[in-house]
Amino acid sequence: MTEAILLAGGKGSRLRPVTLHTPKPMVPAAGVPFLAHQLARAKAAGVTHVVLATSYLAEVFEPYFGDGSALGMRLTYVTEDQPLGTGGAIRSAADALTSGPADPVLVFNGDILTGLDIAGLVDAHQRAGAAVTLHLTRADDPREYGLVPTDDTGRVLDFTEKPQHPDEIVTDQINAGCYVFRREVIDTIPAGRPVSVERETFPQLLAAGALLHGVVDRTYWLDLGRPACFVKASADLVRGIVASPALPGPTGEYLLLPGAQVADGAKLGGGTVVGAGARIEAGAVVEGSIVLDGARVAEGAQVYDSLLGARSSVGRNTTVTGAVVGDDAEVGSANELTDGARVWCDARIPDAAIRFSPDC
């Protein structure tokens, strides 16, 4: 039996407006809440019990996932009234574990899509006899991550969260957001107050001489914290570039959920997913995008690498590239939304109101 804690309490600020009404792990990727992919992957690796550490919009998780029996695993929900940070959340969620003091407990950040061999990480942890084992990957720009240099045996030498000074950037190895803790190590995290595992727990363990073991693994890995990454993750799931047992259909260039309507002459590709009751009209092009339930893409519109919120609409001949359109927003015809544009939920953009000019 392996138990896991899944951190699902962040505000998802970088994904706004999508996360105004929906917590990040519940935003659909490839047709199901992203969390469903993570749980299915954990189940496939032999995890039998997951404690979901929730905080922001905590009430939406249990009605969807219930006790986990539909997934073939047990789910328990632990909610922080005030966010306790990553370490505080792990400490509070651990009360719901049944593992013994020396048992391995997995911890997952709730916004990572990876092809990591989870069972292999647990094996490596047991072999190393580590207090904590960390999945590490490599990043071209480590400034948004935890920087984790190791020696040639894999022993972690240091942990610097979001290094800002060039002198701090001594490696390209970063914390990939999946850990194996020896259960008793979790019990040393202070209870009832905010704790960052990255800024407090890991540095303190290292200072005390504990063995933190890093496993560098270069399989598929993406943090979904930003819209462009979230949309890419969904497209990669649809296309089977990264496998998920929770994909609600066959892999391919696009995925239509039951009740999606696509007119003859519309063109879909690049791992696009079209939600229930969503409508893609004739002559429209939708590439590499997430079209949520009930959204509409009008005739001749072009949507690339974007997320269209539930019941939103994109008017005729409008181009949307690398943008997020919030739930229930209406973008009129003949607009051009470009990379990074975010249309807030319920907003109304008139016809021909937004144009892109590279010259000014």
- Residue 155 gets which letter from DSSP? B
Contact by Cβ (8 Å): 150, 173: yes
Site string for ligand GDD, 182-201 (x = CB under 6 A): ----------------x---
Of 200, 223, 236, 305, the one binding Mg ion (CB under 5 A) is 223
Picked from ligand GDD, Mg ion, none, the partner binding residue 175 (CB below 5 to 8 A depending on kind) is: ligand GDD
Between CA 292 and CA 345 the distance in angstroms is: 13
Q: Residue 266 Cβ, how far from ligand GDD at the closest point, in Å?
A: 35
Separation CA 138–CA 157 (nearest Å): 16
Contact between 110 and ligand GDD per CB under 6 A: yes
What amino acid occupies position 26? M
3-state secondary structure at position 220? coil
Is residue 10 close enough to count as binding ligand GDD by CB under 6 A? yes
User: What is the distance between the alpha carbons of residues 27 and 22, in angstroms, rounded to a whole number?
Assistant: 6
Q: In this structure, what are the phi and psi dihedrals at residue 160, rounded to the nearest 5 degrees?
A: -120, 110
Least Å from the CB of residue 43 to ligand GDD: 18
Is 223 one of the binding residues for ligand GDD (CB under 6 A)? yes
- Confirm or reject binding of residue 7 to ligand GDD (CB under 6 A): yes
Per CB under 6 A, the list member of 84, 136, 189, 343 interacting with ligand GDD is 84
Closest CA to 49 of 78, 77, 79, 73: 73
Q: Which amino acid is at 333?
A: S
Q: For the chain, state the CA radius of gyration.
A: 21
- Residue 162 is a catalytic residue: yes
Sites for Mg ion among residues 94-153 (CB under 5 A): 111
17, 28, 85, 214: residue in contact with ligand GDD (rule CB under 6 A): 85
Q: Is 174 in the site for ligand GDD (CB under 6 A)?
A: yes
Residue with structure tokens 């969620």? 93
Active site residues: 162
Binding interface with ligand GDD (CB under 6 A)? 7-10, 53-55, 80, 83-86, 89, 109-112, 145-146, 161, 174-175, 177, 198, 223, 225
